[in-house]
Amino acid sequence: MTTKQWKKIAHQATSLKIDKCLVSENHLSVWKITHDNSPQILRIYNLKNVETQHMDCTWSLLTQLKSIKGYNGTLPLQKLEIGSQFRGFRLTYIEGKHPRVNSNLQLISAGRAIAHFHKLTSKIEIGGMRRYNYKSITNNINEPIFLAYLSSSQKQEIEKICFLIKENIKEVENSSSLCGILHGDPHWENIITNPDGVFLIDFDDCGYGLYMYDLAVGIADTMQENPKQSKRIKECFVKGYLEVFPQKEKLIEKHLNHLIKLRYIDYMLRPFNEWSEKEIKEYSDEIIEVIEESMQLLN
């Protein structure tokens, strides 16, 4: 869908002032809107691409978090039904900036925010929430359409990495004490800092899984955007996380690197999981770049 088409849907969703489009994709558009001179967020989902049950679970999570003391993040304001094809969330808008990657203190606070979120969500139960399936990520490396883009040496390297990942995490992936509700995408651009604290935004990828994978995603995605500062980024995120959960230090030492690599495997496979065959053919040069970038990150 085009931004123009999404804007028409946005006007159907609300009579509030539509300020500007922040995100426009096939499955989702995000708008900054105004209510009583205060900014808010309007997220609109295309139900052809987004499961209704997942949306309901996401809304339930936000609603329950709203009532928990100490929660810092997006707050739910209104759930919207827009015809039969679209649904929307009206949410609070959080003023501030993303953590500065060159600031150790702000990266540490990002790691602390992820841990604090895990601590709060340990009190929440949501039936029907989607579960992260780590085996499905590594199993997808055998898809013929993906293998066609790899050299023989790349195939061997990825198979070796995936074997080591599966061996490493199989002892913890189903542990009830190490699993719970995840944000799903807590990289630095989904974290806002301001004088009032550190806030999480964008819960579209929330689900149930291994807490350490959430930390790994935050680290991996931030390192991907800033590869020259990878070591320091990882150290700062981990330091902040361990301030809340010092008892997890040995587990993190043993498993985190493998989970970071799992995220890069997921990143490499994303075009094949999310794009149509036509898009894969049309953007084959971009796919090759993604694979080459991911191989560098994995090594």
Show Cβ contacts of residue 184 under 8 Å, excluding neighbours closer than 6 positions. 132, 203, 204, 205, 206, 207, 214, 217
Could you tell me the domains of the chain?
A: 3-92 (3.30.200.20), 104-298 (3.90.1200.10)
Of 104, 73, 76, residue with least CA distance to 194: 73
Tokens of 278: 């036509």
Tokens 């604090």 correspond to 116
Dump pLDDT digits (tens) for 176-233: 889 999 999 998 889 999 999 999 999 999 999 999 999 999 999 999 988 889 999 9
DSSP 142-181: G-HHHHTTS-HHHHHHHHHHHHHHHHHHTTTTT-TTTEEE
Identify the pLDDT of residue 18: 95
Identify the pLDDT of residue 26: 87
Identify the pLDDT of residue 174: 81
Identify the pLDDT of residue 173: 86
| Low-confidence stretches of the chain (pLDDT beneath 50) | none
> How many CB atoms are located within 10 Å of the residue 176 CB?
6
Identify the pLDDT of residue 240: 97
SS3 at position 69: coil
Q: Say if residues 248 and 216 touch (Cβ distance below 8 Å).
A: no
Q: What is the C-alpha to C-alpha distance for residues 275 and 196, in angstroms, rounded to an integer?
A: 40
Identify the pLDDT of residue 136: 87
